[in-house]
Every structure is written in structure tokens, then in C-alpha cells.
Structure 1
Amino acid sequence: MPLFIHEAAKWLGTTPRAIRFYEEKGLLAPSKSPDNGYRFYNADDLKQLRFIIALRELGLPISAVRDLIGEADAFLGSDSNHATTGSGNRVLGKLDEARQSIYRDWTRLSQALKALDTVMAGWFEKQQPTLDELEEAAGHVRESAALLESWRDRWDYDLLASNYREQAVLHALYPVVSERLYEIVHETILEWIDPQTGERGLDLGAGTGRLTAKLAGSGAALAAVEQSAEMLCMLRGQLSHVEAKQGNLLALPFQEAVFHFASCAFAFHCLDERQQQLAIKEIDRILLPEGRICLAGAVFSEEANEEDTGFSVAAPGYPIDTRKLVAFLESQGYEAFVPELAPSLWIVFARKKSA
């Protein structure tokens, strides 16, 4: 039986104003009574409203909801039961984007909360904070927020994944990294991390999951973080037992310290020095005491250019200074060192000190 707008709002736990807003944005087009022009909502309208309300409450912006309106039947299940993998993936992709945005906001708010606590602690200690102290704390929050938003995918890994599938990362690294060097890095990380059954591990910048699969083969429970939606989709398709989330190294999508180890292969060069330090702080945030970190990749020359590497000038990434990485890790409470590896590769291993 069709419902009028106030009845529909009450049944769905929303407001008539919200329903009218969704109509104004083109998300819904209910029928109207020819006699008085009142809106009424049939079963399909109500199902679409359920879909809209759920997506909005999960944090999706109106633009993302509009993109997914055509998927409502397939996602929720229809009478003809024609839910499709493609539709599910599109919805999942938008949820991934919303989750990543919420985590960025959560990270910013967490940093603001820490800064505010510092100011208040100073107030209680000295009874009167200074304007300089307030401005300094606000400046740290502002700089942290800008740094959090500073990362950009200059390599377009979504396009690379669409074109080259499982070879996308190797194609991005060609000709600096060969298949053999690629495998050497993965095997070396596996050796140093030494994952154990019963441990929880995190693979960062996981790509299509080649290193993730090796680490998971040890019996450890693996999670993976990848910023490329296309690569993440491939990883999920191949490693359904892995907890895979969209995100980047500057805002890891986990709230608590639950991991025994974290690995990162061929992704740290995508970050400049300040971003690398923020990434290490993020990794530290989700690692348990005595947790292990292993970072590795290729040695890029600052003079590398398109003529001698095949890359555009921006493509190879930022040179990695392992001495600075070790020094920063030690400043954060780690025992860190640089194991031996091939001259064209770099690796840093670190263990978090007990609390």
C-alpha cells in the first residue's frame, strides 16, 4: 500500500524534509496524486529511500549516492534476484571512498584532540596559557591537516591496474626494477618479518597482493591497505581471506594497535620526507609493543629522467635516505638497522621497544 510522505518518513525513521531534499537532488521521483498533487511512495520508492538513507548515514556524499542510484535493485536484491558482481563492486568502491574520507577526518580530529589536550595540560600546570602557545598548537594542527591531504597519485595506479592487471606495479617501476629484483625484495621482507601463525600483520601499499599472499602463507592473519580502487578490487578477488581496505600510508584505516608486524614494498618512494615521517607515525600507532616494521624498495637516482629510465621526470618517486629513516625510527622508540641487499635495492628493518 502506497504511503504519503509523513507516513513514509515515520516508517523509515527519517523526516519529510530529508525526503524532499533527496527528491530535489534527483535521487527519487515518487508519483503524485492527480487530485491534490500529494506525493505517495510505493514499495520500489521505499526500497530506494532505504538505500539512500543507509548510504547517507554511512557517510557517502550526495554525489556518490547519485552515482549508485541505478545499483539499488542489484545491491539490495530484487524480485528477479539479478544482483551482480559488477554492481556490488561499484557500491563497495563508493563505500571504500567514504570510509577513507571518514578516516582522514578521524585522523585530523585525533590530532586536534591531542593538541587541545597539550594546551589544556599547560593551562592546568601554569594556570594561564599564552596566545603564542595557543597559536603554536593550532599551527601544528593546520600543518598536520595539510600534510595529511598532500599525497597525490601522480602515477595513476588505477589506470595502470586496468591496463596491466597483476603486472601494474612492475610496469610502474620499469625499467628500474626487474621481475627478479621485485621477487628479491618480497623474499627479503618475508625473511626479516618472519611472520608466525597466530600473529596479525599488515601489508601497506599492497598493490594486487603478491607480497600479501606470501606473508599470509605463513599462517599469520593478514590485512592489506591499498589506495588504488582497481588494485584493491583485484587483491580482494584473489585473497578473499585477507582484510583489505582502501587507504594510504598517511591515514591508515585502523583505530587501534592490533598488529604484530607491518610491511611495505615499493610504496615508500611515493612519499616525500615529511610524508615518510607521518607514515612511520601511522604505522607505529597501529603496532603492538615489540611490533616489527620492514620497509623496502628500489634505489632511485635523483638525476633519473625519461631519457635514461623510460619514466617521466616525476614518475620514479622520491629517493630514500635509509640513514634518515633509521634515525627517525629510533627517535620514535625503535631499534632499527639496514640489512644488506642488492645495490639497486634498499631495506630497513625495525622492532618497536616494549612499552
Structure 2
Amino acid sequence: MKKKGESFMQIKEVAKQLNTTPRAIRFYEEKGLIAPKKDAENEYRYFSDTDVSRLSTILALREIGLPVKGIKKVLEDPDMTIKGYLHVQRSALVEQWLEIKDMIDTIDRMVECTDRDFYDLAQHLKKLKHLRKGWEDKWGFDSWAEDFDNHIKQEGHGFNVHQGYDEALERIAGTVHLDEHAVCADIGVGTGNLGAKFLAKGINVIGIDQSKKMLEICNKKHPEIEVRHGHFLALPLLDSQVDTVVSSYALHHLLDSEKLLALSEMTRVLKPNGQICIADLMFLDETHQAEVMDALRMEGNTEAIEAIEDEYYADRSLLVKWLEENQYKVETVMFNDILSMIYAKKVDKAGS
């Protein structure tokens, strides 16, 4: 029974206000998403302002494709915010969208080719699907997040993988030239150490990372950075959305076959004449890698050998080749035997 002075609405009134149906409202009640009061005498439902607000949130989340189970988790899990779940949903939708785009592109190519090429095109599509969905975090970056900023400052070890870290980040920030209010995407943003260098220049920074914990810390340290959940192979960005893409100490977590797809994804989201700047662990080429590894073996530096073999340091020459073949003008900088920077600017066919 309603108490005197309380403001309640009946189900038909709520349905009309929220442009839905009583049947839909009862469905969400059956699924445990809402629990309106019921009159003990006639079983009529009475919805409070809080109930109506909660229902409007449910309807909004359903409209963007969130499943009922996901919505229930958001509403009941104290550790899961609506904003956090929206990041997850955006990432999932982008992956679906890219898969559809890949299929449409394959169909277009099939229309233009002979039947004999169908199989090869289908296999290429299959490989793309596998690459986009197959990446996994075997290093547990969520567990690194709290101590990440201390971890990258390691000194005195037999092999300091972060030697040159600060210099590399400063070099990226000084190399990329952007107008005020331009948009910069920092992939593998971590705790925001690179992306933050662009904030003082009036640049809008979108920080992308697959680690939710890293994004949480980045958001606390640098609330001006717009954080998004995602990864190199399915960037949570629309086509031609950003002016530049930067990344530091992240690309080496991808296999070589994945690195080129990552460059393709960066190209997809870049505006015309956009820029890419990457500082990462890489060798100049296969010969250089063999020379460095041989020298470490001669020194007996097993710590360094194990660290390198645990990850996927790039072959810089392959990355440069791909960029040049895709209409980029490329410059490189070598900080030490394992750390380089690649700066690439998209140019038109005339080279301007």
C-alpha cells in the first residue's frame, strides 16, 4: 500500500513516459532488474522515482546492445560501474564492426576476382578473424598496474629493459607536431606517462589499453585523458578519427604477424596526413638481433636473454618497410641496442 506523501506511478504511466511497453517492464522485473512495490490488496505495481530512473538506465543500456545479464551485473556489482561496462561494450562492438568490415571487403574482392581466388581470399579473412580475436595477455598487466611506475624505473639490474624510457617518451612528445585541440590516441597507455606529455599542449588524448587496472590508475593520475578499453588489433575508434597515434613499450607484446595488423589498424583510425610515432623494444633487423643475442651469451647475461625471449621484440626493418609501402614518410631513431623510435607521417601519392 502506498504511503501518504510518496510519489509513485503505475506501470502504464511509466511505460508511456519512457516510450516502452508494460510487457517490457514486466520482463525486466521477471529478470530481477527492477523490483517495484506491489499493493498487497490488488497486486498493482507502483514505481518510485528511483524505480523509473533505474528503468530508464536499463532501457538505455539495452538500446546500445548490452545483454540483460550484463546489465544485471552492472547494477548489482559494486566493483563494476556503468561507465566501466560501457567501455567493455564499446570494445566488443568495435570488434564485431571490424569483423563485418573485413567480410564486406572480402566480398568486394571476390566480386572482382575469379572463382579460383575465392579460397585464398576466404583464408585471408579467416586469418584476420583469428588475429583480431586471438591476442591474449600472458603477462597479467592488471597485476602490474599498482607498481608499474616504480617497475619502469628499475636500475642496477643485469639487464634494465627500461633503459632510455624517459628519453624515448620525451623524444616522441617533441617529434609529433599537433595543433591545439588535435586528437592523439595513445595505444597501450598504461598509467598515462606518454599521453600526459601532450595534455599541456592542449591536445585531446584518448588512452587505450586492454588492462582495466591500468586504465583506472591512468584515469586517477590524469583525468583529462579519455580512457578506452581495447587493444592494438581492434582499436575502439572510428575510421579517420585521430590526428596521431603514439605508443611506447607496448608493441613488443604482439607477435610479428600481429604487429603489421596493428599498423593497419593505426592507419585506419588516422586522418589524412596523420602521424604515427612508436618507441619500443626492437632490433634493427635479424642480423642485428643475432649479434646482440650472441654478445649477451658471451657475457653470460642470462637475465637479458630470458627477458628478450619472453616477449616479441620487433624487427624494425619490417615495420619501416610496411609503412613505406603504405605511403608513409619514415624517420627512425636508435636509443640503444634494443630501443628505437619510428616516426611515420602519412603522405599523399604526390609525396606532400
What's the TM-score, normalizing by structure 1? 0.79
Alignment RMSD (CA, Å):
3.3
Alignment of 1:304-343 (within 5 A): 308-309=302-303, 316-343=310-337
Maintained 8 Å contact 1:201/1:221: yes
SS at the partner of 1:210? coil
1:13 counterpart letter in structure 2:
N
Identify if the C-alpha distance between structure 1 residues 314 and 29 changes in structure 2 by more than 3 Å, giving closer, same or farther: farther
Is it true that 1:47 corresponds to 2:47 in the alignment? no
1:248 to 226, 231, 234: 231
1:62 Cα deviation after fit: 2.6
Identify if the C-alpha distance between structure 1 residues 290 and 44 changes in structure 2 by more than 3 Å, giving closer, same or farther: closer
Alignment of 1:260-279 (within 5 A): 260-279=243-262
Maintained 8 Å contact 2:152/2:162: no
Match in the other structure for 1:111: 102
2:193 to 197, 207, 210: 210
In 1, the alpha carbon distance for the partners of 2:158 and 2:86 equals: 35
Maintained 8 Å contact 1:177/1:298: no
In 2, the alpha carbon distance for the partners of 1:200 and 1:7 equals: 44
1:31 Cα deviation after fit: 3.3
Match in the other structure for 1:233: 216
1:249 Cα deviation after fit: 1.0
1:65 Cα deviation after fit: 1.4
Maintained 8 Å contact 2:159/2:304: no
Identify if the C-alpha distance between structure 1 residues 2 and 185 changes in structure 2 by more than 3 Å, giving closer, same or farther: same
Maintained 8 Å contact 1:28/1:48: yes
Identify if the C-alpha distance between structure 1 residues 262 and 18 changes in structure 2 by more than 3 Å, giving closer, same or farther: same
1:354 to 328, 334, 348: 348
1:272 Cα deviation after fit: 0.5
1:230 Cα deviation after fit: 1.8
In 1, the alpha carbon distance for the partners of 2:11 and 2:269 equals: 46
Moved more, 182-191 or 195-204: 195-204
Is it true that 1:101 corresponds to 2:92 in the alignment? yes
In 2, the alpha carbon distance for the partners of 1:324 and 1:8 equals: 60
Maintained 8 Å contact 1:154/1:315: no
Match in the other structure for 1:153: 137
In 2, the alpha carbon distance for the partners of 1:54 and 1:118 equals: 38
Is it true that 1:222 corresponds to 2:222 in the alignment? no
Alignment of 1:118-129 (within 5 A): 118-122=109-113
2:129 counterpart letter in structure 1:
A
Maintained 8 Å contact 2:282/2:316: no
* Structure 1 runs not aligned, ≥5 long: 72-85, 123-128
In 1, the alpha carbon distance for the partners of 2:183 and 2:54 equals: 39
SS at the partner of 1:341? strand
In 1, the alpha carbon distance for the partners of 2:73 and 2:194 equals: 33
In 2, the alpha carbon distance for the partners of 1:67 and 1:97 equals: 13
Moved more, 234-243 or 207-216: 234-243
1:191 Cα deviation after fit: 3.4
In 2, the alpha carbon distance for the partners of 1:109 and 1:213 equals: 34
Moved more, 149-158 or 61-70: 61-70
Maintained 8 Å contact 1:215/1:222: yes
Q: Structure 1, residues 301-346: CA drift from partner, whole Å, max 9, x if none?
A: 8989xx9439988994212111111112222222334323211312
SS at the partner of 2:232? coil
SS at the partner of 2:333? coil
In 2, the alpha carbon distance for the partners of 1:170 and 1:154 equals: 22
Alignment of 1:278-317 (within 5 A): 278-299=261-282, 308-309=302-303, 316-317=310-311
Give the number of aligned pairs: 329
1:12 to 12, 15, 18: 18
Identify if the C-alpha distance between structure 1 residues 7 and 312 changes in structure 2 by more than 3 Å, giving closer, same or farther: farther
Q: Structure 1, residues 119-138: CA drift from partner, whole Å, max 9, x if none?
A: 3445xxxxxx63x5555444
Is it true that 1:22 corresponds to 2:13 in the alignment? no
Q: Structure 1, residues 101-156: CA drift from partner, whole Å, max 9, x if none?
A: 1111111112122222333445xxxxxx63x5555444433322221111112222
Match in the other structure for 2:37: 31
